[in-house]
Amino acid sequence: MQKERQPIQLELVFATGKAGEARTPEGRKAEDGTAMAGNQSPVVRGPTMEEVLERENLRKALGQVRRNKGAPGIDGMTVEQLAAHLREDWPEIRQALLHCCYQPVPVRRVEIPKPSGHGMRQLGIPTVLDRFIQQAVLQVVQRYLDPSFSERSYGFRPGRSAHQAVTRAQEYVAAGYRWTVDFDLEKFFDRVNHDRLMAHLARRIGDKRLLKLIRGFLRAGVMENGLVSPIDEGTPQGGPLSPLLSNVVLDELDWELERRGHHFVRYADDCNVYVRSLRAGQRVMANISRFIETRLRLKVNAAKSAVAPPWQRKFLGFSFTGPNTPQPARRIAPQALERFRRRVREMTWRRRGVSIEQIVAELSVYLTGWRGYFGFCETPWQLRELDSWVRRRLRAVIWKQWKRYHARYRELTRRGVPRAVAQSVAASSRGPWPLSQNYVVHRALPNAFFRSLGLPLLEAAADT
């Protein structure tokens, strides 16, 4: 007779052990030599596996994985299939986690274009089950570790944002720190040293089962073209734990900068130090680069790092107005503007062969998200220019879709253009882009027309 499975809900009620549940002999074993560093610095208090497996924590983790959606890992399981899998197999998974027997699955390697448009970024996509467990670990471990992080670290932390980091940088510039030491860490996520990372964690986490699980996620391996390759260093981008682990690695850099009395802001691996002179900036660049490479065993990309005025550099997509302004204002960095234009060009390519309604619907999603982030700038003229440019792109698309003289003449006259003028413009040999700026086309396709299609504005007052 088969052993009856323990009922689970999660909506699902996750089964959990009693508070103070004793560890098994396997759970008491040392994780490895690195994790044993925790014995040299006794942990007074830290996260435990029992906290990770608490019902409410698991419910929250499942909800977050569902909201994040994401592609399947190497097992092909989708987010929608996860709940059914947990109902069936959670008791065994839970016991494996408690007894240090759980084996994370290798991640699936995918490549996505870098935001700059140059090169590809490698991501590691864990299975949805591993993402669920990582999320549950993250929620507990972050609660213990986050209060110990520097106040000037803003990336991937609860209640903190990129906008707050940019505001702090702006405050330094306004206070007279007019030189930026901009560090670029080369392939940061690929170069994280596992032993150093685990040593840091062992000082703050006393539960060796949790340490072993985290190391298991780090060393799960990568599957590419059907072959699994081991991972000896780095934290694969794509898992919920990676951002927290990056903060653990760079926490040592934060406190070194604090110890030296520097004014700095860090968001993930983007770190800027603000000083009053070029000479001071060059000194900081040399000293901190040496610290990063010798102590943290990471590499500073000399070609992308620089000491320069803040209005000549970008930070999280923003820059600042130049020295002739009384107070530095946040502006959108040129690189971010170019990425925006490149993406809009792709969506408004005149040979796509889709309706203007579909193009506007796609644009609306992108523009709304982009405005939610870059609307934080203090240079509304940049937004107005982009609004005008987007509408011009759409006018060129429509003119191209009208194709021939008779269709163009008919559409122009139907929209109120006098016949003689419509004849002249419809017969023009000029291309769609030059004609998109013609006052007649503008009259036939006014701003109100695009508003009627649902095109959002980046700047509320834009009407040009």
Q: What is the mean pLDDT of residues 359-388?
A: 96
With residue 12 as reference, give the H or E element that holds it.
Answer: none
Q: What is the mean pLDDT of residues 369-387?
A: 96
Q: Report yes or no: 101 and 223 within 8 Å, Cβ to Cβ.
A: no
How far is it, in rounded angstroms, from Cα 447 to Cα 442? 8
Confidence band for 186, pLDDT divided at 50, 70 and 90:
confident
192 or 438: which leads in pLDDT: 438
DSSP, collapsed to helix, strand or coil, labels residue 217 as: helix
Closest CA to 328 of 184, 155, 179: 179
Q: What's the first-to-final CA gap in the chain, in angstroms? A: 77
CA gyration radius, the chain: 27
How far is it, in rounded angstroms, from Cα 349 to Cα 13? 50
In this model, does residue 363 exceed pLDDT 90?
yes
Q: Report yes or no: 266 and 157 within 8 Å, Cβ to Cβ.
A: no
In terms of C-beta density within 10 A (0-12 exposed, 13-18 middle, 19 or more buried), how is residue 81 classed?
middle
Locate 87 and state its tokens: 């109902």
How far is it, in rounded angstroms, from Cα 380 to Cα 329? 11
* Angle, CA 280 vertex, CA 277 and CA 282 arms, to 5°: 110
Residues forming a β-bridge with 120 = 113
Least confident of 77-86, 112-121, 167-176, 413-422: 112-121
In this model, does residue 231 exceed pLDDT 70?
yes
Q: Can you give the pLDDT at residue 117?
A: 60
Q: What is the mean pLDDT of residues 194-219?
A: 92
DSSP, collapsed to helix, strand or coil, labels residue 219 as: coil
Would you list the DSSP string of 92-130? HHHHHHHTT---PPPEEEEEEE-TTSSSEEEEEE--HHH
In this model, does residue 306 exceed pLDDT 90?
yes
Q: Can you give the pLDDT at residue 457?
A: 95
Least confident of 145-159, 232-246, 390-404: 232-246
In this model, does residue 30 exceed pLDDT 50?
no
Q: Can you give the pLDDT at residue 343?
A: 95
How far is it, in rounded angstroms, from Cα 298 to Cα 184? 11
In this model, does residue 336 exceed pLDDT 50?
yes
| Integer CA distances (angstroms), 375 to 103, 268, 460, in order | 44, 22, 10
Confidence band for 326, pLDDT divided at 50, 70 and 90:
confident
Confidence band for 119, pLDDT divided at 50, 70 and 90:
low
Q: Can you give the pLDDT at residue 299?
A: 92
Least confident of 4-8, 206-210, 266-270, 396-400: 4-8
Least confident of 14-28, 116-130, 263-277: 14-28
Least confident of 158-172, 217-231, 363-377: 217-231
Q: What is the mean pLDDT of residues 450-463?
A: 82
Q: What is the mean pLDDT of residues 236-258?
A: 91
| Integer CA distances (angstroms), 431 to 68, 226, 294, in order | 44, 49, 58
Q: How many helices (H) and strands (E) does the chain have?
A: 20, 10
Q: For the segment 2-29, what is each residue's pLDDT rounded down to a tens digit? A: 444 444 444 565 655 443 343 444 443 4
Least confident of 39-48, 112-121, 221-230, 329-338: 39-48
Locate 178 and state its tokens: 């007019």
CA dihedral 55, 59, 61, 66 (to 10 degrees): 160
Q: What is the mean pLDDT of residues 198-211?
A: 93
| Integer CA distances (angstroms), 145 to 32, 46, 115, 238, 321, in order | 21, 9, 30, 21, 36
In this model, does residue 461 exceed pLDDT 90?
no
User: CB atoms < 10 A from the CB of 254, how many?
Assistant: 18
**pLDDT-above-90 percentage for the chain:** 73
Residue ranges of E strands in 282-384: 306-308, 318-320, 330-332
Q: Report yes or no: 360 and 455 within 8 Å, Cβ to Cβ.
A: yes
Let me know how long the chain is: 464
The conformation of residue 35, written as its DSSP 8-state character, comes to: T
